[in-house]
Amino acid sequence: MFDPHKIREDFPILKRKINNHPLVYLDNAATSQKPRQVIEAIKNFYENRNANVHRAVHTLSQEASELYEKAHEEVADFINADGIEEIVFVRGTTEAINLVAYSWGLRNLKKGDEVIVSLMEHHSNIVPWEILSKINGFSIKYVGLNDEGGLDYEAYEELITKKTKIACFSHVSNFSGIINDVKRIAKIAHDHGALTLIDGAQSVPHLPTDVRDLDVDFLAFSGHKMLGPTGIGVLYGKRDILENMEPFQGGGEMIREVLFDSITQRCTITWNNLPWKFEAGTPNICDGVGLMEAVKYLRAIGMENVQAHEHVLTEYAMKRMLECRNVEIYGPKDASLKCGIIPFNVEGFSSHDVALFLDNYGIMIRSGFHCTQPLHTIFKLKSSARVSFYIYNTREEVDKFMEALMEIEQI
């Protein structure tokens, strides 16, 4: 049985008090808290197995290498990738998207080509393409949204052409939590000969994810949003595409050999095998091990259970919030259409005022643009507050949040 009260026992930080109130952490879309199992795995690595990987024959290096490779295997199994060759460890979703933009896009996009991006995207899936378009001269087309902030699929089908080389979409909106139909997005792109890049930062931690079923070409996500440490993330890419891409960075680890030719005075370089071709330098070994432990933790719970628990909390919270006279919720009001994210504002207060007021009661929420400023412009919002749930949140915490929110209303 899924029991969030039992799960909470694994998270030391949840025992904290903020302003003499028990911590109520509702900012999970920004980053999740870490279970003791992940913390211990990191501690154990540095205390017992710390060494560089793939560089020595001694015991510590062999053990570290085995753990690091095992971490790739666990992540591959978690999203049903076809082996570790399709799993590249990066710093996070942002670096994964930039890797695709510069390693694939720099060499495959030219003047006359098109890239499609939605207006609900996190800035990390907008800015790299805007930067690259100024270098290579291709066009960017932005897909609009419907009244609830969902993707306008008809507009997407009208915008895409044979000139479109890649379509870049979020699986789950960082602002509203709405879940996009990725299989439909991918099919439309492939029917026009285009690739797909999916931002999975808000989906992989919360939904069962099968990259082969979704048929996406690239999927980017971050470890810190799914119980893992910061500074580690994943780029999934189909093997044949990754094999034909040039490395993002050059240095150690990503090469098999570098041979100097005394006649030409040049070096001939052979790239390493996948995925190491894209992991230049000493990798973030320890945090990779931490991510592996986070994946094991989530698999033990079951991602179907994670999704179901968040649905219950989201539905309960929205029902109570909709009863408030001065609280406006953005995005779909049907909890089945979204993950555990609820953006809102309280009439007469800025989002930062709301967040600071809640902080007085130990309740942590997000305020601002949530790295989705174009989407806020569409909704004509100066900013918004956002609550987001995860496996350790409870109905009792929703009630505490609502008590404080209703107090703001009375003010």
pLDDT at 354: 97
Distance CA 89, CA 149 (A): 32
pLDDT at 379: 84
For domain 4-26+302-410, the question of CATH label 3.40.50.970 is answered with no
Nearest to 335 by CA among 346, 354, 321: 321
Phi, then psi, of 165 in degrees rounded to 5: -105, -30
**Span(s) in the chain for CATH 3.90.1150.10:** 4-26+302-410
pLDDT at 203: 98
Q: What is the DSSP letter of 188?
A: H
| pLDDT by position in tens, the chain (length 411) | 689 999 999 999 999 999 999 999 999 999 999 999 999 999 999 999 999 999 999 999 999 999 999 999 999 999 999 999 999 999 999 999 999 999 999 999 999 999 999 999 999 999 999 999 999 999 999 999 998 889 999 999 999 999 999 999 999 999 999 999 999 999 999 999 999 999 999 999 999 999 999 999 999 999 999 999 999 999 999 999 999 999 989 999 999 999 999 999 999 999 999 999 999 999 999 999 999 999 999 999 999 999 999 999 999 999 999 999 999 999 999 999 999 999 999 999 999 999 999 999 999 999 999 999 988 988 888 999 999 999 999 999 999 999 999 999 888
**Span(s) in the chain for CATH 3.40.640.10:** 39-299
At which residue do the structure tokens 């044949």 appear? 240
Share in percent of the chain as helix, strand, coil (round to 5): 45, 20, 35
Tell me the Ramachandran region of residue 198: left when phi exceeds 0, alpha when psi lies from -120 to 50, beta otherwise.
beta
pLDDT tens per residue, range 196-236:
999 999 999 999 999 999 999 999 999 999 999 999 999 99
CATH architecture for segment(s) 39-299: 3-Layer(aba) Sandwich (3.40)
pLDDT tens per residue, range 20-33:
999 999 999 999 99
**Do residues 233 and 95 touch, judged by C-beta distance below 8 A?**
yes
* C-alpha 333, offset from chain centre: 23
**Do residues 267 and 259 touch, judged by C-beta distance below 8 A?**
yes
pLDDT at 1: 66
Q: How far apart are the first and last CA of the chain?
A: 41
Q: What is the DSSP letter of 101?
A: I
Show the tokens assigned to 230.
Answer: 């910061």
**Do residues 199 and 129 touch, judged by C-beta distance below 8 A?**
no
* C-alpha 198, offset from chain centre: 10
371 is catalytic: yes
pLDDT tens per residue, range 388-399:
999 999 999 999
DSSP for 118-151 reads ETT--GGGTHHHHHHHHHH--EEEEE-B-TTS-B
pLDDT at 149: 86
pLDDT at 136: 97
Q: What is the DSSP letter of 46?
A: I
Question: Which listed residue (168, 267, 339, 371) is catalytic?
Answer: 371
Q: What's the Rg (C-alpha) of the chain?
A: 22
